[in-house]
Amino acid sequence: MKKPGGDIVWLTALILLALLPRLFILHTRGFEIFHSDQAIVGLMGKHILEGKPMVYFYGQAYMGSLEAFMAALMFSLFGMSLFSLQLAPLIFYLGFLVVNYFLFKKCFGKPMAILTNFFLALSPAYLTVLSMTALGGYPETLFFGSLVLLGIIYNPKATRFLFEKRNLVAFLTALAAGIGFWVNNLILMYFIAAVLFILFHGRPPESRPTPSVLPAGCGAGLRRIKKILFLEELNLPRILRVLLLLWHIYLVFFVVLNLLSFILGPKEWLPNPPFHVKILKHLFLILAFEIVGLWLFKQGLRKFAQVIASYAPWILGFLLGSSPAWLYSLLGGEGMRMIHASSMIYAKDLPHQLFHVLGVGFVREVMGIPFHFLYQWKGAESLAAWGMVPVVFFPVIYFFTLGKRGQVSESTRSKYLSAFPIYLLFVVLFICLFNNLTAGRYLCPLHAVVAFFFAFSIVHLWNQKRRPLAIILFSLIVFNRLYTNLQYFITLPSGKNFRQGIENTIQFLQGERIKAAYVPGDFSYLLTFFSKEAVVFAPYHSYDRYPRYSALADREERVAYLFEESNAFYSIFQNSIDSHKIPYQKTWIMPFLIYTLDRSLKSEKGWVP
């Protein structure tokens, strides 16, 4: 008999394990992990409270502003502060732990759910930082992506009426997918993993393909594609068949040409760069309309209406969830930016790219620390970090070779090989490999996969009566997590003096009655956030993600220019204003050299910066 509230007890313990250390870190080292991109989210939250919401992250029309709305909620509850801002992504990360618990419990049972989420609560240092970093949408991607997988696993095929229980689940799943798509396109990784799960698990067990029969299935699929390309199944008018056949030949030619460009690299007679994304996007849109049109020709409008009605929960949910994105575009806003062709790679780059994705990206995610810290750490710190590599790869190898050692049946092995973490693993690595995405934040879905390998190995070793080995593996992982997290935050350079310098700078400018200043781009939004826009800092020598700041600074007569002492440009600036005999006041407040100018006073040569 199940104990009531058992899940609540475990979830409470896991949430406290994740929450309490992070609250301590935010209190003691929150400023050290803060930077200008996070300040933008904070400023957006302030603007939302002032009645000026924005659909997208300032300057990045592909990342929704949901995190800024959460920051606005935190500001309304606790006041506008750095601590309140960093709570916004943390709430979504805690939500991810809750959803992930039920996801793994549904698929693999309660012990796997507890252990997997234990390793996500006691996360690697990199994920610990990311879970508190307001970058616009990465903890949200983990939350909504897991929510989509949970909904798919509970209800892979929902039809009929919207408010039946199964279809309400479908609607809510699609709603989460739509919101996640608006927030961050990275959720496409989860979408692809969900589609693969449906292909393998949305059928009766006897008809479900297993890895051993995939080649035969691929052959049948290729024969099916051939029939479609050559229109062998449709009784179309002859002229239409000829036109469609020519179109298919052109499409195949275009794809082959791009594949050649990918394999051979830049050539004068080949398109450069490979895979012209904008052209390819339009071609496949036309192809999609063609497929729908031919299907309508074959099935008729009535059948089409029935299919649309049966998938109404999915369609309505996704449209509603993603409505901020497409409504914004329809009303004339800047549309969602697609992946640019320059981010694609050639075949000759694959070995180097594979090293970066696996050797730098994946291993960094496994170790859980930024790579540059490995060069700073010496002795025991470096040994603990590098020692995590074999500790992690043992569970991975153990998982994939389990059936071949005869310890489980082939059906059990196929079940685990077809599980959603495996799909997610290969989808993430494939997309990152071919789209030149090696930064740790793009690989963040892999943390759940790695935690799954840990939990699976420990549970299986325990059940196989190899408990000493299971205890050793568990202890090594926990020790590494604790040690590398501790070392990471201890070795972070102290920001106490820098923060005091920022506060002194803002107080000085307010005392001088200066409302706008120019500052290097890395500091503009950070300083504006800490001043709460009492002084607006516009970036120079970089793109202003919120152009109103630059416009305001350009209108002000009395302004300040801030330079770091290491910035060589300040000497050029001073020579210019000296040569034009422009009056100014020069002040040094660590870490800035501040030039205060009154632009209403014209120089002898009429030049005013």
- 577 with 447, same domain: the answer is no
Residue 392 lies in a domain: yes
The rounded distance, in Å, linking the Cα atoms of 84 and 87 is 5
Buried b (16+ CB within 10 A) or exposed e, 288-308: eeeeeebeeeeeeeeeeeeee
CB of 74 closer than 8 Å to CB of 85: yes
Residue whose tokens read 């759910």 = 113
Extract the residue ranges of the chain whose pLDDT is less than 70. Answer: 1-5, 155-166, 200-238, 240-241, 255, 257-285, 287-288, 291-292, 294-301, 304, 307, 331-385, 402-419, 433-439, 600-609
Residue from 448, 531, 497, 384 nearest 130 by CA? 448
User: Which 8-state DSSP code applies to residue 268?
Assistant: T
Position 314, amino acid: W
Burial class (CB in 10 A: 0-12, 13-18, 19+), 587: middle
The rounded distance, in Å, linking the Cα atoms of 460 and 13 is 23
DSSP alpha helix (H) spans, 401-538: 410-417, 420-434, 446-463, 467-490, 496-511, 521-531
- 352 with 466, same domain: the answer is yes
List C-alpha distances in Å: 186 to 62, 180, 268, 318, 431. Answer: 10, 9, 34, 16, 10
- 172 with 281, same domain: the answer is no
pLDDT of residue 40: 93
CB of 88 closer than 8 Å to CB of 41: yes
The rounded distance, in Å, linking the Cα atoms of 346 and 274 is 7
Q: Which two tokens stand for residue 67?
A: 């995190």
pLDDT of residue 217: 42
List C-alpha distances in Å: 130 to 49, 243, 296. Answer: 25, 52, 47
For the four alpha carbons of 328, 332, 337 and 338, in that order, the dihedral sign comes to positive
User: Which 8-state DSSP code applies to residue 226?
Assistant: H
- 137 with 40, same domain: the answer is yes
- 183 with 241, same domain: the answer is no
CB of 107 closer than 8 Å to CB of 153: yes
pLDDT of residue 93: 96
DSSP alpha helix (H) spans, 184-236: 188-201, 214-229
CB of 224 closer than 8 Å to CB of 216: no
- 557 is in which domain, residue-wise? 496-598
Q: Which two tokens stand for residue 351?
A: 């070995």
Residue 547 lies in a domain: yes
CB of 518 closer than 8 Å to CB of 544: no
Split into its structural domains, the chain has a count of: 3
Residue 583 lies in a domain: yes
The rounded distance, in Å, linking the Cα atoms of 49 and 39 is 15
- 423 with 360, same domain: the answer is yes
Q: Which two tokens stand for residue 425?
A: 């693993």
Residue whose tokens read 């408990």 = 467
- 20 with 124, same domain: the answer is yes
- 56 with 184, same domain: the answer is yes
Residues in CB range of 187: below 8 A, 6 or more apart: 141, 144, 145, 148, 177, 180, 181
The CA-CA-CA angle for residues 363, 367, 371, to 5°, reads: 70
- 246 with 391, same domain: the answer is no
Q: Count the Cβ atoms, other than its own, within 10 Å of residue 27.
A: 9
The rounded distance, in Å, linking the Cα atoms of 215 and 293 is 31
Q: pTM value? A: 0.82
pLDDT tens digits for range 150-181: 888 876 554 333 344 567 888 888 899 999 99
Residue 330 lies in a domain: no
Could you say which of 464, 490, 516 is where a domain stops?
A: 490
Residue 328 lies in a domain: no
Residue 329 lies in a domain: no
Could you say which of 490, 520, 547 is where a domain stops?
A: 490
Taken as a whole, the chain contains a residue count of: 609
Residue from 393, 400, 391 nearest 475 by CA? 391
pLDDT of residue 83: 93
**3-state DSSP helix/strand/coil % of the chain, to nearest 5:** 70, 5, 25
How distant is the alpha carbon of residue 433 from its chain centre? 15
Q: Provide the terminal-to-terminal Cα distance of the chain, rounded to the nearest Å.
A: 78
Could you say which of 490, 511, 530 is where a domain stops?
A: 490
Residue 445 lies in a domain: yes
Q: Which two tokens stand for residue 182?
A: 């608006």
The rounded distance, in Å, linking the Cα atoms of 450 and 18 is 17
Residue from 466, 488, 480, 479 nearest 389 by CA? 480
- 192 with 263, same domain: the answer is no
The rounded distance, in Å, linking the Cα atoms of 495 and 229 is 62
Residue 335 lies in a domain: no
Q: Count the Cβ atoms, other than its own, within 10 Å of residue 135.
A: 19
CB of 441 closer than 8 Å to CB of 458: no
Residue whose tokens read 């990465």 = 138
pLDDT of residue 25: 92
- 302 with 400, same domain: the answer is no
- DSSP letters spanning 116-145: HHHHHHS--HHHHHHTT--SSSHHHHHHHH
- 506 with 477, same domain: the answer is no
Residue from 126, 124, 128, 62 nearest 94 by CA? 128
